[in-house]
Chain A
């Protein structure tokens, strides 16, 4: 008789037999560096040769689409509809990797030749993200086999190949394929866990907005600082003043409309309860009183807005000359949680400057495609179902991360597909994901494949929450 434990056992056996890493090694060998235009054929090859056959073997209908944005990588959609009355789960991964710089890797390691050294599995893409979406595929196979050729839910996968370039084209693609992608649950399989000791579900991510602040006094030529200093306005002083008005000297944001009015208690509680492993080389603020002191470090990143000055220049810093600068420019990044609307950030900043009497500050929101903020409620029935599933597989409590500090594409899916969106991470903070020596940990892979098999199994059980 088919059982949950049987599915988990099949999943673990798939890893223990070496089949999982064998397939992964083949996939790592394809250098899918999306930041290098010449690598675009590799992106297609990855989807055509490695993804498509495996999904078809699981009776998924596979389509590969060109990216709607010229020069960006293709998108694969695999779909297996068992019954339209069943819930649908859309799993997400990306097949592209960041540029490798092989000379920076340790001796004996090559980014595109996967190597196992003790518990570590080295190679570019092992954790970001090939190894992770392959866990989802293998876990699906385990459930399918255990249930005798049936999943008990509708399965969809989307594998994009432009994530490391900011997922350009993904949002319009989703918008023009909402029927094909329609789902109840979005399950991203990506990113690092906060603790090696317990599985994790990530319920949200912050959005990011970028603003250039420009002071341009429009003076031709230089004004000698000896004569004109203290007489003619200094763009460097004006912009420093403007930036200083945004926060307290301790970095607490002073623009009320940038801050969440109220964060659900369940979200705060989840942030406070998060177990975070102590790691070497983790930077600490020198000033223990930096930022909003009513918040823990996790709350600052997961439940609040942050602002930083990514870059700033006035005058000629390489060779400062005796001249009163007429031009200064800064780029701000504002990361915000789902409780704050991104569209409100720019007007709030302009209103703030106007109220403070800074007439001459030009605010320009920079034109890059931006990931939206998103967060699910920890009390959502599907969230609780998946948390319960992970707790059952793990045999104890798990981490519920209310929001990753970084940004990601999940909000596109949540917004356009009207689904519940979550991330299951299977890597760890020390994985070196964008640098040399990227690696995964065998125990985390083995655990991850079982965790996902448990989630897929439970999605097909009668007590699943059903259509959302």
Chain B
């Protein structure tokens, strides 16, 4: 074997610089693999059968398309590249589905299904979420394979789902039922945004999510406000007081069991130097919202967030003179694994009852529940990956965070007993679910190098386990 680490990284950079990356991504973006629209179902199969199977086979993968355990749901592709059972195995993950195109909302000259470069931006649906990201990782594997003369030095199992934008429907059941097929020593994958476009970034997991609705339903139908206002209970007044008892005026959560007793010192240390930077168009952070005394990074990554997503009472389009019968608020918690999520609902019930809000009912959304999970920052894989990243980017600071703020299906992989390492190639200003979704060319190019370095190091110098 010949070749060098720098050689592998240079190959990966060249893949970007000679236009191959944009060409390959353009092909993938052109397939409108929208999982939220049933009539786009053929595009989900097309992405797996035509695009990814061909590309993966060219890299030496054996591909198998599996039906989703759920009806009317996109397939799951498992591609395996096994050099030797005795070598370490990496599980990697991506999703080939995208959210709706929202064609009419894109700026002039842009189209969701065509990759268009403007300055540092590569526009197109799926460029950031997630086609651009798995394209980077597969190209980095390719660079290492070529640099090493055809052999990778480890095994790779790639699982590609097509239902991520529908809550990863079927992924957990599939993975639980196919543990042997997917068995690996480590999971390395890319999704979601970096904390700053300027700094390469690793996440060790994901916050969890718990959605619930609060309802105050007092009676059937409205009653004339002149005769009954002040006599009958007003559901919105009760609901507002209930919400005000859960969270204070500046967004601080008031239910002790919902928040970590403390941020673990190791996590606090990791986040000490992390500054969130969401790019030019990002909003300014107000200092005085959320848990006092925490940095922005700690609020986002190490604490619990409570959000009122939506709320309704009466008929807002045409208010009538009536005391309403029902008021509702759709709420969400995002949380780390430092709290007991099983206590969210009971603690809320106890809190509401203790404050006299027995009439406020809780409707938990079990379907969209996602567990918080993260790899122990002390795990040897974490230090190893940080060193690899740092070596590739040189003097630039790298960010290592305990978990992503939003929802990655990290829990599925953690439950398979492997450490999970996420290397995001997007950034917070990417408009990922909106019109004008884009990936930054500079991050894509840097990501190609980081991943090539990482895979090189995995072949040459894996962590001692």
User: Which size bracket describes the interface of B in this complex?
Assistant: 35 or more
CB-CB under 8 A from A297, the residues of chain B are 231
From the candidates B226, B251, B296, B359, name the one contacting A404 in the complex (CB within 8 A): B226
Q: Is A333 an interface residue (CB 8 A)?
A: yes
- Chain A 313-325 against B: per-residue CB contact (8 Å), 1 yes, 0 no? 1111100111111
Q: Is A402 an interface residue (CB 8 A)?
A: no
5 A-B pairs within 8 Å (CB atoms) are namely A232-B283, A237-B247, A241-B249, A287-B359, A310-B320
CB-CB under 8 A from B209, the residues of chain A are 226
Indicate whether A243 sits within 8 Å of B307 (C-beta atoms), given known contacts A231-B285, A301-B231. Answer: no
CB-CB under 8 A from B249, the residues of chain A are 238, 241, 357-358
- Chain A 435-460 against B: per-residue CB contact (8 Å), 1 yes, 0 no? 00000000000000000000000000
CB-CB under 8 A from B55, the residues of chain A are none
Q: Which residues in window 51-70 of B have CB below 8 A to A? A: none
Q: Is A344 an interface residue (CB 8 A)?
A: no
Complex alpha-carbon distance, A231 and B294, angstroms? 10
Indicate whether A311 sits within 8 Å of B305 (C-beta atoms), given known contacts A232-B283, A317-B328. Answer: no
Q: Is A293 an interface residue (CB 8 A)?
A: no
Q: Which residues in window 22-55 of B have CB below 8 A to A? A: none
Q: Is A29 an interface residue (CB 8 A)?
A: no
Complex alpha-carbon distance, A221 and B332, angstroms? 19
Given contacts A222-B434, A313-B313, 12 further A-B contacts (CB under 8 A): A232-B289, A244-B237, A290-B231, A301-B231, A307-B229, A308-B236, A309-B240, A311-B316, A314-B308, A317-B328, A322-B332, A333-B321
> Nearest CB to that of A246 among chain B residues?
B237
Q: Is A306 an interface residue (CB 8 A)?
A: yes
CB-CB under 8 A from B240, the residues of chain A are 239-241, 243-244, 309
Q: Is B6 an interface residue (CB 8 A)?
A: no
Q: Which residues in window 396-419 of A have CB below 8 A to B? A: 404-407
A227 touches B311 (CB 8 A): no
Indicate whether A223 sits within 8 Å of B226 (C-beta atoms), given known contacts A232-B289, A287-B359, A315-B308. Answer: no
CB-CB under 8 A from A306, the residues of chain B are 225, 229-231
For residue A307, give the distance in angstroms from its CB to the closest CB of chain B.
Answer: 7
> Nearest CB to that of B315 among chain A residues?
A311
Complex alpha-carbon distance, A6 and B340, angstroms? 85
For residue B213, give the distance in angstroms from its CB to the closest CB of chain A.
Answer: 8
B283 touches A333 (CB 8 A): no
Indicate whether A230 sits within 8 Å of B303 (C-beta atoms), given known contacts A240-B240, A406-B226. Answer: yes
CB-CB under 8 A from A321, the residues of chain B are 309-310
Complex alpha-carbon distance, A333 and B432, angstroms? 41
Complex alpha-carbon distance, A290 and B238, angstroms? 11
- Chain A 412-430 against B: per-residue CB contact (8 Å), 1 yes, 0 no? 0000000000000000000
Complex alpha-carbon distance, A7 and B283, angstroms? 79
Complex alpha-carbon distance, A233 and B285, angstroms? 9
A311 touches B319 (CB 8 A): yes
Indicate whether A309 sits within 8 Å of B324 (C-beta atoms), given known contacts A226-B407, A231-B289. Answer: yes
A405 touches B229 (CB 8 A): yes
CB-CB under 8 A from B20, the residues of chain A are none
Q: Is A249 an interface residue (CB 8 A)?
A: yes
For residue B72, give the distance in angstroms from its CB to the closest CB of chain A.
Answer: 20
Q: Give me the 8 closest cross-chain CB pairs, A-B, nearest first.
A: A226-B406, A306-B230, A230-B305, A315-B310, A406-B226, A236-B308, A311-B314, A229-B305
For residue A113, give the distance in angstroms from its CB to the closest CB of chain B.
Answer: 28
Q: Is B9 an interface residue (CB 8 A)?
A: no
Q: Is A219 an interface residue (CB 8 A)?
A: yes
CB-CB under 8 A from A311, the residues of chain B are 313-316, 319, 324
> Nearest CB to that of B243 among chain A residues?
A240
CB-CB under 8 A from A238, the residues of chain B are 249
CB-CB under 8 A from B232, the residues of chain A are 283, 285, 290
A232 touches B286 (CB 8 A): yes
B285 touches A312 (CB 8 A): no
CB-CB under 8 A from A226, the residues of chain B are 207, 209, 334, 405-407
Q: Which of B87-95, B130-138, B216-224 contacts A (4 or more CB under 8 A)?
A: B216-224
Q: Is B139 an interface residue (CB 8 A)?
A: no
Complex alpha-carbon distance, A407 and B226, angstroms? 7
Indicate whether A234 sits within 8 Å of B251 (C-beta atoms), given known contacts A229-B307, A310-B314, A330-B236. Answer: yes
Q: Is A335 an interface residue (CB 8 A)?
A: yes
CB-CB under 8 A from A333, the residues of chain B are 225, 229, 321
CB-CB under 8 A from A246, the residues of chain B are 237
Q: Is A60 an interface residue (CB 8 A)?
A: no
Indicate whether A240 sits within 8 Å of B229 (C-beta atoms), given known contacts A230-B303, A314-B311, A357-B249. Answer: no
Q: Is B241 an interface residue (CB 8 A)?
A: yes
> Nearest CB to that of A356 among chain B residues?
B249
